[in-house]
A and B are shown apart, each in its own frame.
Chain A
Amino acid sequence: MKLPYYPGCTLKANARHFEKSAIQAMEKLDFQLVEMKDWVCCGTVFSMTSDDLMLQLASVRNLLRAEKQNLKELIVLCSMCYNTLKRANDFIVKDKGNLEKVNNFMYKENLTYSGKIEIYHLLSILKDRIGFSVIAEKVKKKLSALKIGAYYGCLLVRPEELAIDNFEDPSIFEDLISTLGGESLDFAYKLECCGAYQTVTKKDVSVKRVYEILNSARESGCEAIVTSCPLCAYNLDFLQKDVEEEYLDFNRIPVFYFTELMAVALGCGWDKNWSSLHFTDPEPLLREKGLI
Chain B
Amino acid sequence: MYIRIKAADINNTQVKKIEELSGQNIFDCYQCGNCSSGCPVVDYMDISPNQAMRLAQYGRIEEVLSSEMIWICSTCLQCSSRCPKGIDVAKVMEAFRTINLRNGIGVVNPKQLGITETKDIPPILLICAMRKMTG
Measuring CB to CB, which residues of chain B are less than 8 angstroms from any residue of chain A? 20-23, 40-41, 43-44, 71-72, 74-78, 80-81, 88, 90-91, 94-95, 98, 107-108, 113, 118, 120-129, 131-133
19 contacts between A and B (CB under 8 A): A9-B123, A14-B122, A45-B131, A45-B132, A48-B22, A52-B98, A55-B131, A81-B124, A154-B75, A197-B74, A197-B126, A198-B41, A200-B118, A202-B44, A202-B72, A205-B74, A234-B121, A234-B122, A235-B125
Measuring CB to CB, which residues of chain A are less than 8 angstroms from any residue of chain B? 8-10, 13-15, 41, 44-45, 47-52, 55, 78, 80-81, 154, 158-160, 167-168, 191-193, 195-202, 204-205, 208-209, 230-231, 234-235, 238
Main secondary structure of the interface of A (DSSP, over half): loop
Instruction: Give Cα distance in the complex from A191 to B38, angstroms.
Output: 11
Contact A201 B71 (CB under 8 A): yes
How many A-B residue contacts, CB cutoff 8 Å? Answer: 130
Instruction: Give Cα distance in the complex from A189 to B88, angstroms.
Output: 22
Instruction: Give Cα distance in the complex from A52 to B127, angstroms.
Output: 17
Considering only CB atoms, which chain A residue lies closest to B123 in the complex? A9
Instruction: Give Cα distance in the complex from A198 to B42, angstroms.
Output: 13
Instruction: Give Cα distance in the complex from A161 to B20, angstroms.
Output: 22
Task: Given A48-B22, A197-B128, A200-B113, answer yes or no on A158-B123 (Cβ-Cβ < 8 Å).
Answer: no
A269 to chain B, nearest CB (A): 25
Considering only CB atoms, which chain B residue lies closest to A42 in the complex? B124
Instruction: Give Cα distance in the complex from A193 to B128, angstroms.
Output: 15
- Chain A residues whose CB sits within 8 angstroms of the CB of B128 once the complex forms: 44-45, 80, 196-197, 231
- Chain A residues whose CB sits within 8 angstroms of the CB of B118 once the complex forms: 200
Contact A48 B78 (CB under 8 A): no
- Chain A residues whose CB sits within 8 angstroms of the CB of B122 once the complex forms: 10, 13-15, 230-231, 234
Contact B124 A49 (CB under 8 A): no
Considering only CB atoms, which chain A residue lies closest to B44 in the complex? A205
Out of B20, B41, B126, name the residue touching A205 (CB < 8 Å).
B41
Out of B20, B107, B120, name the residue touching A238 (CB < 8 Å).
B120
Contact B125 A234 (CB under 8 A): yes
- Chain B residues whose CB sits within 8 angstroms of the CB of A201 once the complex forms: 71, 107-108, 129, 133
A86 to chain B, nearest CB (A): 14
Contact B21 A50 (CB under 8 A): yes
B29 to chain A, nearest CB (A): 17
- Chain B residues whose CB sits within 8 angstroms of the CB of A231 once the complex forms: 122, 124-125, 128
Contact B124 A9 (CB under 8 A): yes
- Chain A residues whose CB sits within 8 angstroms of the CB of B21 once the complex forms: 49-51
Contact B75 A49 (CB under 8 A): no
Instruction: Give Cα distance in the complex from A78 to B127, angstroms.
Output: 15
Out of B20, B74, B88, name the residue touching A198 (CB < 8 Å).
B74
B64 to chain A, nearest CB (A): 16
- Chain A residues whose CB sits within 8 angstroms of the CB of B22 once the complex forms: 48-50
A230 to chain B, nearest CB (A): 5
Instruction: Give Cα distance in the complex from A55 to B122, angstroms.
Output: 21
